[in-house]
């Protein structure tokens, strides 16, 4: 770490911290009301059966549902699992700036063990939640006509433009983070695990963007949930890798202390 350019390294740490904060809290900006019953009716063009069912519903109750803030989706928030690991990993590397290498080795193994274990459990729980939500949305969408109308009223107005802006911002910040990390010290490129983790984070960003743009707007909530499951699985895999490596590091540290 003697050759580490500290200001650039701190910049990289700040960038990935901003990424995680946006993923955790920034998605709330994607909430928006769907609008009026008239705009809802435009989704039903060409589907006479759905329009007939719509006429049977209480218009005031339907407007109340449409006016409620819509779910912002899961995929962007789920990316915080991957990028949280990146933030944690880089922060541990930065510990050598303030503590000795010997102490860092002990702290890193134990901290990674606890963090990765919690992350595995959290990722599994989030994958299950996304899977249940996906099954609910698909069941509603296929339950013509009233289930379909309920799906469209609740999930049919995904804020795809807002999500696209946030995903573009996140990609720019992640690229800036990766470049800053390399500029801070080229030896980071030799850390294959870190490089693969960064590439996985960028891949997750691309997958979410692709699935958001793949289908018509009223189906984006479903593909967003699929993207969330994919991101959750990637995060779970990485968390398991970290857990296994931290177990070896912890055992090694304990043997060293006994010796």
Model pLDDT, residue 145? 77
Model pLDDT, residue 65? 57
Answer with the residue of higher pLDDT: 205 or 246.
Answer: 205
Q: Are 126 and 133 in contact (CB under 8 A)?
A: no
Model pLDDT, residue 5? 85
- Range from 64-78, 109-123, 193-207 carrying the lowest mean pLDDT: 64-78
Model pLDDT, residue 237? 95
Give the whole-angstrom CA distance, residue 55 versus residue 191: 61
- Range from 39-43, 110-114, 208-212 carrying the lowest mean pLDDT: 39-43
Classify the phi-psi angles of 97: left when phi > 0, otherwise alpha if psi is within -120 to 50, otherwise beta.
alpha
Model pLDDT, residue 162? 86
- Tens digit of pLDDT for each residue in 139-195? 998 987 778 887 887 788 788 888 999 999 999 999 999 999 999 988 888 889 999
Asked if pLDDT for residue 200 goes beyond 50, the answer is yes
- Token pair listed for 14: 């700040």
Question: What would the mean pLDDT of 55-69 be, rounded to a whole number?
Answer: 60
Model pLDDT, residue 1? 47
Q: What 3 state SS string does the chain have?
A: CCCCCHHHHHHHHHHHHHHHHHHHHHHHHHCCCCCCHHHHHHCCCCCHHHHHHHHHCCHHHHHHHHCCCCCCCCHHHHHHHHHHHHHHHHHHHHHHHCCCHHHHHHHHHHHHHHHHHHHHHHHHHHHHHHHHHHHHHHHHHHCCCHHHHHHHHHHCCCCHHHHHHHHHHHHHHHHHHHHHHHHHCHHHHHCHHHHHHHHHHHHHHHHHHHHHHHCCHHHHHHHHHHHHHHHHHHHHHHHHHHHHHHHHHHHHHHHHHHC
Give the whole-angstrom CA distance, residue 65 versus residue 58: 11
Answer with the residue of higher pLDDT: 26 or 63.
Answer: 26
Give the whole-angstrom CA distance, residue 110 versus residue 253: 9
Asked if pLDDT for residue 91 goes beyond 60, the answer is yes
Instruction: Write down the residue that tokens 């960064």 correspond to.
Output: 198
Asked if pLDDT for residue 211 goes beyond 60, the answer is yes
Model pLDDT, residue 110? 80
Question: What would the mean pLDDT of 7-11 be, rounded to a whole number?
Answer: 92
* Most confident segment among 136-140, 150-154, 241-245: 136-140
Give the whole-angstrom CA distance, residue 16 versus residue 85: 10
């Amino acid at each position: 770490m003697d050759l580490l350019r500290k200001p650039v390294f701190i910049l990289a740490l700040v960038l990935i911290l901003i990424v995680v904060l946006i993923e955790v809290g920034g998605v709330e900006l994607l909430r928006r009301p769907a609008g009026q019953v008239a705009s809802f009716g435009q989704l039903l063009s060409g589907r006479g059966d759905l329009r007939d069912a719509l006429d049977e519903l209480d218009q005031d109750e339907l407007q109340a549902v449409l006016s409620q803030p819509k779910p912002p989706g899961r995929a962007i928030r789920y990316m915080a699992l991957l990028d949280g690991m990146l933030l944690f990993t880089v922060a541990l590397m930065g510990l050598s700036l303030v503590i000795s290498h010997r102490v860092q080795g002990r702290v890193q193994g134990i901290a990674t063990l606890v963090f990765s274990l919690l992350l595995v459990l959290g990722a599994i729980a989030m994958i299950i939640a996304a899977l249940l939500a996906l099954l609910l949305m698909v069941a509603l969408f296929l339950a013509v006509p009233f289930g379909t109308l309920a799906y469209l009223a609740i999930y049919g107005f995904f804020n795809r433009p807002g999500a696209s802006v946030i995903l573009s911002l996140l990609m720019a910040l992640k690229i800036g983070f990766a470049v800053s990390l390399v500029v801070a010290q080229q030896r980071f490129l030799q850390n294959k695990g870190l490089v693969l983790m960064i590439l996985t984070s960028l891949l997750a960003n691309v997958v979410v963007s692709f699935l958001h743009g793949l289908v018509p707007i009223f189906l984006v909530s479903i593909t967003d949930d699929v993207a969330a499951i994919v991101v959750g699985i990637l995060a779970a895999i990485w968390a398991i890798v970290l857990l296994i490596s931290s177990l070896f590091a912890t055992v090694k540290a304990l043997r060293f202390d006994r010796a």
